[in-house]
Amino acid sequence: MSPRRLILFGASFCVTISLLLNFDSTSARQVNDREWKLIWHDEFDGRDGSAIDSSKWTNDIGGSGWGNRELQYYTDRLTNVSQSQGMLVIKALQEHYTGIDKVSREYTSARITTRKSLNVTYGRFESRIKLPFGQGTWPAFWLLGQNIEKVGWPSCGEIDIMELIGKEPANIYATIHGPGYYGAKGISVPFTLKNNERFTDAFHVFALEWEPEILRFYCDGTLYQTLTPSKLPRGTKWVYDRPYFLLLNLAVGGAWPGNPDSTTSFPQFMYVDYVRVYQRTTR
């Protein structure tokens, strides 16, 4: 786990203490070293206020709506995405912003990918994240097929390891999208916290184990969704047999979560403790 530092002054102290109090809730090791070998990771231990590691991540930039009628403009500014206290912090702001493409939006946020650095077929993909909540917020940890520029979406395939829509703070969703089953027809299942807990109250570990013709989705070590070609609609194609890249983002608004309203406060934060990718060592 990434180390945390106490900052003994002002608001930073309160934020740091809050994160520390939640730190141990999912800190137990969940990967068997005899079964999985770590091949890539980012612990986000850069200097406080520093940019993401450009050898690992690329910023997606723009305010086109991203195919979902989203409201934010994704930037690479440190005010929207940076490393702090051993974490990646993605911050969504309510502000008028005009990009170099002359597109203007009333919200900003960030989306980062490994498209230029890491494309892999099969493995275990894991991240420990503390999520925002509030109407219109939409954080995600997911994968896209490397061939998206050649074949387009959804033919490239999409694996959503974790999505949360802010009006449902106790639910996350694991979903796959492919040719013939995408958008509202994507194959999806929720995982729900018990005892009135919310995903904004503590860190949780989200993981995918992806092997030939099987996808297994976990939350805090609990397997809650298994998908195989037999689960696809008749006549559709399994496209999870080729390289994919990772994405992390915090969207605002969109066709699924709906738009922010008077109950939504800003800024909103998505805290990422680490991202780790493993390959199977045993069968």
What CATH number did the domain enclosing 269 receive? 2.60.120.200
Domain range for 254: 10-280
Token readout for 137 is 């917020």
Please state the separation of Cα 107 from the chain's center in Å. Answer: 19
For residues 136-163, give the mean pLDDT: 98
C-alpha 170/C-alpha 173 separation (Å) is: 10
Q: Angle at Cα 239 formed by Cα 150 and Cα 180, nearest 5°?
A: 90
Burial 211-241 (b: 16+ CB within 10 A, else e): eeeebbbbbbeeeebebeeeebeeeeebbbe
Is 43 contained in some domain?
yes
Mark whether 213 is an active-site residue. no
Token readout for 255 is 């066709």
pLDDT of residue 29: 53
Q: Are strands 72-74 and 204-211 parallel, antiparallel or unpaired?
A: unpaired
C-alpha 156/C-alpha 216 separation (Å) is: 19
For residues 230-258, give the mean pLDDT: 97
Judge contact between 86 and 93, C-beta under 8 A.
no
Mark whether 149 is an active-site residue. no
* 140, pLDDT greater than 90: yes
Token readout for 264 is 């939504």
Judge contact between 151 and 272, C-beta under 8 A.
no
For residues 31-47, give the mean pLDDT: 93
pLDDT of residue 17: 37
Is 5 contained in some domain?
no
SS3 148: helix
C-alpha 110/C-alpha 105 separation (Å) is: 13
Determine which of 29-38, 94-103, 139-148, 254-263 has the lowest per-residue pLDDT on average. Answer: 29-38
For residues 144-156, give the mean pLDDT: 98
pLDDT of residue 64: 94
* 199, pLDDT greater than 80: yes
* 52, pLDDT greater than 70: yes
How do residues 62-96 score in pLDDT, each as one tens digit? 999 999 999 999 999 999 999 999 999 999 999 99
Distances (CA, A) of 48 to 45, 166, 187, 226: 8, 27, 39, 38
pLDDT of residue 43: 98
Given the residues 126, 158, 197, 211, the one annotated as active site: 158
How do residues 4-15 score in pLDDT, each as one tens digit? 333 333 433 344
Instruction: Count structural domains, the chain.
Output: 1
Tell me what percent of the residues of the chain surpass a pLDDT of 70.
89
Is 1 contained in some domain?
no
* 22, pLDDT greater than 70: no
What burial class does residue 60 get, using C-beta atoms within 10 Å of its C-beta: 0-12 exposed, 13-18 middle, 19+ buried?
Answer: middle
* 23, pLDDT greater than 70: no
pLDDT of residue 230: 97
For residues 119-134, give the mean pLDDT: 98
In 43-170, where do the E strands start and end?
58-60, 72-74, 81-84, 87-98, 104-109, 111-113, 123-130, 137-145, 158-163
